Amino acid sequence: MRPMLATKGTHVPSGADWSHEVKWDGVRILADTREGRTRMWSRNANDVTPAWPEISAAPLGDRDLLVDGEVIALNDRGIPDFRVLQDRMHTRNATTARRLSQQVPATFMVFDLLRLDGTDLTEQPLERRREVLAGLDLAGSPWQVPAAYDDGDMLHEATRQQGLEGIVSKRLSSRYSFDTRTPHWLKFAHRQRLSYVVGGWRPQEGTTDRLAAVLVGEQTPDGLLYRGRVGSGIGGKVSAMLAELLEPLARADSPFTDEVPRVDARGTHWVEPLVVVDVDTHGSGYDRLRQPSYQGVRHDLDPESLGAQT
């Protein structure tokens, strides 16, 4: 079971047929509550319930429901930031998860209701699903229902000024289809952050084993195409974590379909293209990333899910 995804928009739609929401910089989750027990599924259909003990408690007791939303946590500026969740999202140890939930408390921003008390709502229009969701009593729980707005241009500018990730515009008549990317949900990000697949890593100058940069590619119908080398944002702790993650994936040759420039290929340790990372870059539509900055590993994504991200 995978969530429905939005398509990248070119302009914010207007009119009474559309509703607009904040685009949260967090981890996408489907939460399925039955008989007082909640299971939480990541975007790539992994059970991540142990990672979120403060959220996985059933907010409505024994009531049956399935919701779609985003788990968020705030950075030191009080803004939702995916990077703050890095230490939490891959945790499966219950003791560690409880400790991290005290250090980095999370909130579940629930923006869609897909089933309630045994009734499938996915064929209902979004307008009706949101109406029923707003009527649920989630007060006092770590589940929140974020506001929706009529004026998309206003929300787009307000989120830009507040340093938020962007907005999502949704057609009020849209139905919900699992594991699809719909043109009836449009996303508009203020910064260019995309997910790429790691195909190799470079050691720090003068060393052979200290990871200083990763080589990343874009998943396309023609294979994994090389997009550049990313070193900014990879400090000591991140370097050690990435080295541990990539070391078992070593291979003898490049996994990229196209040729990697000699200046980047020299001294590179190639790896199986299985790890996905987020990268901030200046501008879009270029063959090579411009001023790229590493943002974190996406444990909730797999390479096959990235083909239509832009």
What are 118-138's pLDDT values in tens digits? 999 999 999 999 999 999 988
**CA dist., res. 88 & res. 84, Å (int):** 8
Both tokens of residue 65? 């429901």
pTM, to two decimals:
0.71
- pLDDT-derived band at 310 (thresholds 50, 70, 90) equals very low
**CA dist., res. 251 & res. 199, Å (int):** 10
List beta partners, residue 68: 30, 112
Task: Say if residue 284's pLDDT is above 60.
Answer: no
Q: Are strands 119-120 and 269-270 parallel, antiparallel or unpaired?
A: unpaired
What local confidence, expressed as pLDDT, does residue 307 receive?
61
User: To 5 degrees, how large is the angle CA 276–CA 281–CA 287?
Assistant: 85
Q: What is the mean pLDDT of residues 71-75?
A: 92
Domain with CATH 3.30.470.30 in the chain: 5-189
Q: Are strands 143-144 and 107-116 parallel, antiparallel or unpaired?
A: parallel
Task: Say if residue 290's pLDDT is above 80.
Answer: no
CATH topology of domain 5-189: D-amino Acid Aminotransferase; Chain A, domain 1 (3.30.470)
Q: pLDDT > 70: what percent of the chain? A: 97
Q: What is the mean pLDDT of residues 222-248?
A: 94
Mean pLDDT (the chain) is 91
Comparing CA positions, the residue from 196, 264, 254 lying closest to residue 229 is: 264
The 3-state DSSP class for residue 178 equals coil
What local confidence, expressed as pLDDT, does residue 283 receive?
52
What local confidence, expressed as pLDDT, does residue 23 receive?
95
Domain with CATH 2.40.50.140 in the chain: 193-306
**CA dist., res. 306 & res. 194, Å (int):** 9
User: CATH for 193-306?
Assistant: 2.40.50.140
Task: Say if residue 286's pLDDT is above 70.
Answer: no
